[in-house]
């Protein structure tokens, strides 16, 4: 059984979504908690700035019971009020498949058709797989989701224009700050999002960068690709006054830029702070110095909506591709349910054959036994093929669960 418990930018505001962000260590902790209370932990946790989704696969329980265990583990690990789970959506089986394929294709993103989500899904899948948290069903599911995402991007124009939060944020800066090429940009963080931001600014003509990151090595590597300088993570507050645009993009659980820092370092010129982090890295401030603006991920959505219509024309073509790949996966999943009974048929026929050959061992010469054995094997193969074909037809290739249950009882597989 496939299940999904998720929250995203359409179901909850940032102040609620950030309560459910996950680090890799927290994903492992969540899996351990789920294993303790439910005795299953085949999961993939996708945690980005716009969503947290828990995909799970198991055979022990029905949908509601399994979902209850996942919710219980989430409440325990995040230490949150259970009432917040009202912001989550729930999906099962084929709806999980279609949703994930839509996510990897960029159809479910704040920026319609964004590219960054595909690499984020891959990273989440690879981490959970390397942590031994995925079973064969989840592995196949996510591999097919990458296929869907790639096909949509190559066969449609869904990702034309700025299609990541990073590039949209830079476009937003360019629209409200004059002569952006002459400005100084301070990046706090040096991960994938920060790298995309720097690339986008560089393409706009910006050459004055300051990069600060907990890992000095990553900050150095980033500035080597473009221009600018890297500074120690403990000293970034001293550089706030030198920057016209300050962008935070880290996984810090606590604010890195406070109201006191902004007030103390304000240089009197226009300054734009953009927070691309979840949880937020810039403290929520009600009163700002004149000339200072703070933009969050949710604020950027207003700009995104203006650019979305161009890509909406490609959605129907993308959905056709997604439906094709969903059908392929569901066919594989259904046939997988037939495998135990098919193995039982082959085993039973071969077992009968072996017993009869053993009983007749003293009644025939060796050469005759070999002829009989060969002839029987051909008969078994023909009967196997006929039975398997009929079973596939009867169960609609494993989709008809009522017929499948009856057949399982017939071969004593329950």
259 and 173 in a single domain? The answer is: yes
Angle at 74 between CA 70 and CA 80, to 5 degrees: 145
Interatomic CA distance for residues 258 and 267, integer angstroms = 16
- Per-residue pLDDT, 393: 72
Distance of CA 47 to the CA centre of its chain: 7
Sort strands 2-8 and 51-57 into parallel, antiparallel or unpaired: antiparallel
Per-residue pLDDT of 213-226, as tens digits, reads 999 999 999 998 88
- Per-residue pLDDT, 414: 45
- 235 in a structural domain: yes
288 and 365 in a single domain? The answer is: no
135 and 212 in a single domain? The answer is: no
150 and 220 in a single domain? The answer is: no
Tokens of 173: 């800066």
15 and 131 in a single domain? The answer is: yes
- Final residue of a domain: which of 141, 161, 181? 161
pLDDT (mean) for 297-323: 81
- Per-residue pLDDT, 235: 93
49 is annotated as an active-site residue: yes
217: containing domain:
165-298
- 306 in a structural domain: no
169 and 149 in a single domain? The answer is: no
Mean pLDDT of the chain: 88
- 209 in a structural domain: yes
- What radius of gyration do the chain's Cα atoms show? 28
Per-residue pLDDT of 30-87, as tens digits, reads 999 999 999 999 999 999 988 999 999 998 999 999 999 999 999 999 999 999 999 9
pLDDT of 405 > 70? The answer is no
Number of domains in the chain: 3
189 and 105 in a single domain? The answer is: no
Under 8 Å between Cβ of 128 and 42:
no
Interatomic CA distance for residues 319 and 325, integer angstroms = 10
332 burial (CB, 10 Å; 0-12 / 13-18 / 19+) is middle
30 and 150 in a single domain? The answer is: yes
- Final residue of a domain: which of 144, 161, 178? 161
- 310 in a structural domain: no
- Per-residue pLDDT, 186: 97
35 and 169 in a single domain? The answer is: no
Which of 49, 77, 128, 173 is an active site residue?
Answer: 49
139 and 20 in a single domain? The answer is: yes
169 and 96 in a single domain? The answer is: no
Under 8 Å between Cβ of 99 and 147:
no
pLDDT band per the 50, 70, 90 thresholds, residue 284: confident
- 304 in a structural domain: no
Taking the CA of residue 86 as centre, how many other CA atoms within 13 Å lie in the half-sphere pointing to its CB? 3
pLDDT of 162 > 70? The answer is no
DSSP bridge partners of 296: 275
Q: Which of 44, 184, 53 is nearest to 109 (CA)?
A: 53
pLDDT band per the 50, 70, 90 thresholds, residue 205: very high
């Amino acid at each position: 059984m496939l299940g999904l418990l998720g929250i995203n930018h359409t179901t909850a505001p940032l102040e609620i979504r950030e309560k459910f962000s996950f680090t890799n260590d927290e994903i492992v902790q969540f899996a351990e908690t789920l294993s303790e209370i439910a005795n299953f932990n085949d999961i993939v946790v996708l945690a980005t700035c716009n969503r947290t989704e828990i995909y799970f696969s198991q055979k022990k329980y029905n949908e509601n019971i399994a979902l209850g265990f996942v919710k219980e583990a989430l409440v325990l690990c995040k230490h949150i009020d259970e009432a917040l789970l009202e912001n989550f959506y729930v999906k099962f089986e084929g709806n999980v498949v279609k949703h994930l394929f839509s996510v990897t294709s960029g159809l479910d993103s704040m920026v319609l058709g964004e590219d960054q989500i595909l690499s984020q899904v891959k990273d989440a899948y690879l981490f959970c797989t390397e942590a031994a948290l995925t079973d064969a069903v989840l592995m196949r599911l996510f591999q097919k989701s990458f296929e869907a995402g790639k096909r949509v991007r190559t066969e449609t124009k869904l990702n034309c224009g700025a299609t990541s939060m990073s590039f949209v944020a830079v476009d937003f800066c360019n629209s409200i700050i004059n002569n952006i090429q002459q400005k100084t940009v301070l990046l706090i963080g040096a991960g994938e999002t920060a790298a995309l931001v720097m690339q986008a600014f560089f393409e706009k003509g910006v050459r004055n960068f300051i990069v600060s990151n907990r890992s000095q090595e990553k900050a150095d590597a980033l500035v080597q690709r473009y221009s600018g300088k890297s500074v120690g993570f403990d000293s970034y507050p001293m550089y706030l006054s030198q920057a016209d645009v300050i962008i935070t993009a880290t996984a810090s659980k606590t604010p890195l830029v406070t109201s006191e820092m902004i007030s103390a370092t304000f240089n009197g010129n226009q300054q734009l702070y953009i927070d691309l982090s979840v949880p937020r890295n810039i403290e929520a401030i009600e009163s700002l110095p004149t000339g200072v603006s703070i933009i969050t991920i949710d604020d950027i959505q207003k700009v995104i909506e203006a650019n979305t219509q161009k890509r909406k024309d490609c959605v129907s073509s993308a959905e056709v591709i997604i439906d094709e790949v969903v059908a392929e996966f569901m066919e594989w999943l259904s046939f997988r349910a037939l495998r135990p009974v098919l193995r039982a048929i082959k085993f039973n026929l071969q077992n009968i054959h072996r017993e009869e050959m053993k009983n007749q061992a003293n009644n025939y010469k060796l050469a005759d036994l070999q002829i009989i054995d060969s002839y029987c094997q051909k008969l078994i193969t023909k009967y196997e093929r006929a039975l398997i074909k009929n079973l596939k037809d009867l169960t609609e290739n494993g989709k008809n669960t009522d017929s499948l249950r009856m057949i399982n009882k017939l071969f004593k597989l329950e």
